[in-house]
Amino acid sequence: MAKGFGKGVVTGVIATVSLVAAGVTYIKKAYVDPINEKEKQIEENRKKAARKRTAR
């Protein structure tokens, strides 16, 4: 009986850790990456505008 309980605890811990890791990955891809991408795009537009201003 103790062996079955130990295997169940280990399985539960592994499942919980993998579920948390999947959740963190999802949040990063759904929320953090788009924000970073938008910031990069804004910075590129600022650089382009600065080049146009100095080119004239």
The per-residue pLDDT for range 1-54, each reduced to its tens digit, is 678 899 999 999 999 999 999 999 999 999 999 999 999 999 999 999 988 888
The model's pTM? 0.64
pLDDT of residue 1: 60
Q: What is the DSSP letter of 1?
A: -
pLDDT for res 53: 87
Report whether pLDDT(55) > 80. Answer: no
pLDDT at 20: 98
> Which one-letter amino acid corresponds to residue 17?
V
Q: Which residue has the higher pLDDT, 34 or 56?
A: 34
